[in-house]
Structure 1
């Protein structure tokens, strides 16, 4: 079936147009198109049309953590949030450090069929930081792994990191580093500063992030490798990145929605929903993250979507697991922090949520221009919508959102993956693979 989208403004610019999607591509764009007989119509007057979103940092928890999330529920959350591709981090059980596990994750994503699920391979065996995982085998496998990370843990050994970067150069893949010197964060519970001191929480210094990024930029320079820095949170890290990019080092970086909006002032309630790695930092750091994203020093937004079961969050602060949901709230937080203040326009949203992450990951069919003949992988956004976040109504199995009860702007109207509508008006509307076979929906 063809799909006709009416009343939209590509990139939020110009007058309203119609798009006819056929055979997975954009077949026509015009002011008033002839409607085929067999067509699915999405009427979205005044909506903004963007390329489908790409998330370089998602935790789908499967295999092994299905009490928090599955590929199915995480894919649903992604589609409802406007994403058409996600990168699933390897800290699963078993760890995605070999071809068997990464192919399993990729296969599960294809069976669910709501978004493209790209497994991220571990850099080291078991994420233990002792010896390199089978990077070449995973890259050459059917899963075609293009990004490697020990996310949740830093590849701390400099010699091991250097070897990983050298292999990455030969394989033409990206190493994504969780920048945290574990010797500086042992026992740390909150950003090292006035709030942590007042609350009696062990401090987490920003230098633990900054020093690893500086080291790895130097190692990437020597190896001629591509380095990606996960969840940047410190203003001083931004200065390291700025200098590295000016020196011609191939380094990219991401920032999470929560590090654009939330600060360590929220910790005064001791509510573990605010516990995250790296920690929420100061208002000055948050302001720097916004400016760096606007300037392009930080390349893209990535959710670090990290679902946890209730028992892992509904406990005392020190015992709680770090992490927050992010897939269904990412666009709204970005609009609130960057678009409403005028720091990004809708072209900028496309850049940080679609085009740059697709480029970093080497996805040829994602983040493409909105033009005739291009893949019909799109997100339709109502820029004037307002909605209240309720964790229990989100599609994820978990509900650990720090935005509970917040009123946020902008909402995804529809998500289209290669001409197939996957989400519409807050619901999963077309299922393929196992979802269609079982005839089941998802929470939310």
Structure 2
């Protein structure tokens, strides 16, 4: 299979269907990511007898190892010439197999924990192979300055819109499966894994054949030390790292604990799929609005507004108790709408901070490293909660409420306070026609 290299760009940018072909891969990537980050802990705790503290350390270790590879992968991707198709297809095959393996451990207890650690490392590695190349592809769209900015924002809208559709699927189906008869869960997750693998290969084929051309290799990417020096000297990028990490922690922490909160604090385990689906549907509906707003006021200002909305929406979660279903649905809608800004704005903001000739893959490798570091740190919430006396299945835990609801709001406030990078120029006002 050859990569997309014969699609000429016009003066008005790539046609919408080429951007749609680019964005579709976001759907299967999200279908795999959400169950791994949200459902794995509850799955191995309830069905395979892995202790909560042991499970937390496995998640932390696997995610921490995963963070170390991302800058290296970004550097390798910057040097890819004709090998992007082989790189991405190999990543897709490994991800499909590892994702299926996660849900089929050969035993319970410690053996299951070890199996989970190995499968997670493989899945994370493969997901990085795809995701960093995918983000680099979108950042490399060509054209004039103003048109390039609009194309990047439109490509991000397609990518994150497809990703949100994948998150809706991944929130409803696995949650429904997990709420069913325990004996049938592994077989049902095997079917889900097959469907994911098929969608992944179809999306990869469309990306490689129909999307705008893969960016030309960057000659400056041949020396990784040069790339590090350029990143360190990019003040806007350096200033963006701390708020990005804090914001990622504010999102990953409640994602890790959501099912425990829904089951034990709200005592509404049967509605877990509905809650998650509502959250991601709200994000999908809000994404075109955030994109249009970013065209008018700038990407950075738009992201700040999204953060403020997330805090205002999620602050009330710490006050909820058993049976507070409707208020939690309202929180899911508000926080989900804010998620669209968290997903779409940072990659576009980073692309706007890159100068001509920059090695984009290395930059996005650092971005994904920070995102995975946030996920690794969120895994430590499980042993912390265990040390504070929380036990899965026991209602009324103050520690669970504070860690799930209050701490993320504090982290989001710190992210807003540290977001001081210069705002890029507002994008030209244009009718938004390329969102899904």
Q: Same fold (TM over 0.5)?
A: no
Q: TM-score normalized by structure 2?
A: 0.23
Structure with greater strand share of residues: 1
Q: TM-score normalized by structure 1?
A: 0.23
> Which structure has the higher relative contact order (CA within 8 Å, separation 6+)?
2
